[in-house]
Amino acid sequence: MNIQREQQIKVWLTEVLGSEQFEINYLAGDASFRRYARIKQNNKTFMLMDAPPEKEDCEPFVRIDEFLAHHGVRVPQIQAKSLEHGLLLLEDFGDVVLAQKLNQDTVQEYYTQCFTQLSALQAIDATAQLPHYSREKLLIEMQLLTTWFIPSIGLQLSKSETNTIEETFNLLLDNALAQPQVIVHRDFHSRNLMVLENQSTLGVIDFQDAVIGADTYDLISLVRDAYVRWPVAQVNAWIEQFYVQLPSSHKQQRDMAQFKKDADFMALQRHIKILGIFVRLFERDGKQNYLKDLPLVMWYVLEQSQRYPELNAFYQLLEQKIRPAFEQKYGACPKVTL
């Protein structure tokens, strides 16, 4: 750690806490340049976000945190902030992420609570506060497949194969933009939801990239979590459960079958992106922890593209050319069963 940065943090904490008597314990890093530390002073604890201004901009976090808190979302309260120095002192949500509590016996109750909170989040009008999940942004994310993932498995694609991928991207883009547009957290899954002591409401973190986008996006981030696989029948039941909760305006000319297709197409867009992100995290940033999750993400891409005739050419490309090269490098995918 940069000694000058460490000193800067200590000076700032002394100022905002009014004392030099505190402990700093840094936590394991995540996929960004942000770092977190638990600050203990007497019997109180806080969470420090260290976001060096030259690497990270914490203004979106502050703006969105304050907006969501104002609308009743259970996000960490900001105790002190210095945007100039990239330092925030936050309410401590503890260490228990939802992922630690999930098993076949507990998941239904927890996910029902997640759906309730997600419905409340989507009911907030944030069109004036958040950027739109534009066609360009969605496309740039999927292009990580061809710029990072495909080269990593040593493949070169023909013109017709490239065309197949581009046509698939356009299908997914058209679908995402046609869905009802709401607040999208973008990483609403079991590692970004916190089980808070003596509270039934889950704490929500890592929301700084929130946008206005498709109403299926956060749902599939949760039920098709890139880090955990639930039975297909159970996932489909959850999608139906969430559909029942949708406002009537989101169900107009959109029956359950269409909502399911919207969810599948949105999931495919997200998992195509994640394949590229996980490879990039390893090759560019030296973070290899995500490589073990690649086979599951690849399985999702295969499973979601197998279901629809208009995705058949893409599925065949995956199955015949991409999957064998993938498994040779990253290991076998689970077997796809419909």
- Asked if 94 contacts 196 with a C-beta cutoff of 8 angstroms, the reply is yes
Does residue 31 surpass a pLDDT of 60? Answer: no
Given this model, what pLDDT does residue 181 score? 98
Quick one: how many helices (H) and strands (E) in the chain?
14, 9
Residue 22: name the closest of 80, 62, 69 by CA: 80
- Measured CA distances, 291 to 28, 32, 35, 125, 326 (Å): 17, 16, 21, 37, 12
Which residue has 């889950």 as its token pair? 202
List, in sequence order, every residue forming a beta bridge with 89; answer none if it has no partner: 48, 80
- Asked if 275 contacts 267 with a C-beta cutoff of 8 angstroms, the reply is no
Spell out the domain ranges in the chain.
22-91, 101-330
Which helix (H) or strand (E) covers residue 239, if one does?
Answer: helix 232-245
Given this model, what pLDDT does residue 227 score? 92
Q: Which token pair is 18?
A: 């009014």
Beta strand 203-204 with 193-194: parallel, antiparallel or unpaired?
Answer: antiparallel
Query: What are the pLDDT digits (tens) for 49-86?
Result: 999 888 888 898 999 999 999 999 999 999 999 999 99
Question: How many other CB atoms are there within 10 angstroms of residue 1's CB atom?
Answer: 9
Rounded Cα–Cα distance for residues 162 and 160 (Å) = 5
Beta strand 23-26 with 87-91: parallel, antiparallel or unpaired?
Answer: unpaired
Does residue 155 surpass a pLDDT of 90? Answer: yes
* Mean predicted lDDT score pLDDT of the chain: 95
Given this model, what pLDDT does residue 29 score? 65
Q: Which token pair is 211?
A: 């946008």
Does residue 178 surpass a pLDDT of 80? Answer: yes
Residue 299: name the closest of 275, 282, 317, 280 by CA: 275
Query: What are the pLDDT digits (tens) for 222-249?
Result: 999 999 999 999 999 999 999 999 999 9
Query: What are the pLDDT digits (tens) for 191-206?
Result: 999 999 989 899 999 9
- Asked if 303 contacts 266 with a C-beta cutoff of 8 angstroms, the reply is no
Domain 22-91 CATH class label: alpha beta
Rounded Cα–Cα distance for residues 147 and 296 (Å) = 20
Which residue has 């495909």 as its token pair? 150
Given this model, what pLDDT does residue 24 score? 94
pTM assigned to the model: 0.92
Rounded Cα–Cα distance for residues 84 and 296 (Å) = 40
Does residue 32 surpass a pLDDT of 80? Answer: no
Which residue has 């770092």 as its token pair? 35
> CA 282, 283, 285, 286 torsion: positive or negative?
positive
Which residue has 């907006």 as its token pair? 67
Q: In what order do the strands lie in the sheet with 87-91?
A: 23-26, 35-41, 44-50, 87-91, 78-82
Same fold, 22-91 and 101-330: no
Q: Which CATH architecture has domain 101-330?
A: Alpha-Beta Complex (3.90)
Q: Which residue has the higher pLDDT, 214 or 53?
A: 214
Rounded Cα–Cα distance for residues 263 and 310 (Å) = 15
